[in-house]
Chain A
Amino acid sequence: DAKTTQPTSMDCAEGRAANLPCNHSTISGNEYVYWYRQIHSQGPQYIIHGLKNNETNEMASLIITEDRKSSTLILPHATLRDTAVYYCIVSQGAQKLVFGQGTRLTINP
């Protein structure tokens, strides 16, 4: 599975959009991009996934570049409860998820 690179930490003001980048330059054609987050002392929570097209659900939007070498997770109106570690994972099958170090996102009031 392709490796991912994410910034170690990011800050965002409450109410603003949080844009979390992820580089996955070695992604192959049949690999999905998954995003999970982990709020302190809780189990990881699935956010969204995509293969080629941009995706949106009630939690977030996922923008994947045309060459699929990078993606951005967008939380449209961040709240304090969105403070968490966000993991970008690239995997062909969803069974073997390899978590990287993730981005620690802090939402500030």
Chain B
Amino acid sequence: DTEVTQTPKHLVMGMTNKKSLKCEQHMGHRAMYWYKQKAKKPPELMFVYSYEKLSINESVPSRFSPECPNSSLLNLHLHALQPEDSALYLCASSPVVAGGGYEQYFGPGTRLTVT
């Protein structure tokens, strides 16, 4: 199974709502990632979890709160978002190998619209 699944596929939320995005993989990967992709732009890294611990936070606003409850699951909790946060949110996973040279597997993304 080389699939990364993300739910929901689409999400519309108001600025006062609280919602969560979910990502799951069963490849035994111990690194998981959140990316944000605005329309017609490349993906931008938000967070990296390595062995269920947050290892990289790319100065993401606190209204985005990641969580890695176990090695297969990654959540992104959303609260008090702004319309400019509307984007495609991509999850990825990879093995953890010293020195690099391995691939990241990406999910299909959740398309988020903030109204």
- Contact residues of A with B, CB < 8 Å? 30, 32, 34, 36, 38, 41-46, 49, 51, 85, 87, 91-102
Contacts and interface: CB of A to CB of B under 8 A. Distances in A.
Contact of A32 (B42, B56, B100): B100
Contacts of B92: 43-44
A97 B101 contact: no
A98 B102 CA distance: 15
Contacts of B101: 32, 49, 51, 94
Nearest to A87: B42
26 contacts: A30-B100, A32-B100, A32-B101, A36-B104, A43-B92, A44-B43, A44-B90, A44-B92, A44-B106, A45-B106, A46-B104, A46-B105, A93-B99, A94-B97, A94-B101, A94-B104, A95-B48, A95-B94, A95-B100, A96-B45, A96-B48, A97-B45, A99-B42, A99-B43, A99-B44, A100-B42
A51 B43 CA distance: 23
A43 B94 contact: no
B106 A93 contact: no
Q: In the complex, which of the residues B33, B88, B104, B107 has the most CB atoms of chain A within 10 Å of its own CB atom?
A: B104
B56 A95 contact: yes
Nearest to B97: A94
A58 to B, nearest CB: 14
Q: In the complex, which of the residues B42, B45, B55, B104 has the most CB atoms of chain A within 10 Å of its own CB atom?
A: B42
A101 B40 CA distance: 9
Contacts of B105: 46
B107 A102 contact: no
4 interchain residue pairs of minimum CB distance? A43-B106, A99-B42, A46-B103, A93-B100
Interface in B36-52: 42-45, 48, 50
